[in-house]
Amino acid sequence: QQQVKQSPQSLIVQKGGISIINCAYENTAFDYFPWYQQFPGKGPALLIAIRPDVSEKKEGRFTISFNKSAKQFSLHIMDSQPGDSATYFCAASLLYNFNKFYFGSGTKLNVKP
């Protein structure tokens, strides 16, 4: 059973546009939801993370929206830039159960200049 489902698989956005990636999770006990950015040949880099006690977190151009009742969370990238072109992974974990991460399958974002 896939614990975290991510969509879309790929996304093309024009420079300056908004990129939106969605994730849904199964386990209501999850209490930590990070987003990672991965460039080809590199390891994932932590972008932004949220706990379920807040509905939104913003860091620069990146915003996480969290809907606990729907068991969904999403990443919004405002003013998308060609340098944002990468694969994005959402994840969920139980902080007090050795913080094992369950990752989504990834979204390949291509920002056109």
Q: Enumerate binding residues for another protein (CB under 8 A).
A: 4, 6, 34, 36, 41-46, 49, 89, 91, 95-106
90 vs 81: CA distance, rounded Å: 20
Taking the complex as a whole, the smallest distance from the CB of residue 31 to another protein amounts, in Å, to 10
The residue (of 72 and 105) whose beta carbon lies closer to another protein is 105
The residue (of 53 and 100) whose beta carbon lies closer to another protein is 100
Taking the complex as a whole, the smallest distance from the CB of residue 59 to another protein amounts, in Å, to 13
30 vs 17: CA distance, rounded Å: 31
The residue (of 31 and 71) whose beta carbon lies closer to another protein is 31
Query: Measuring CA to CA, how many Å separate 81 from each of 1, 18, 37, 85, 92?
Result: 35, 10, 14, 7, 26
Strand, helix or coil at 82? helix
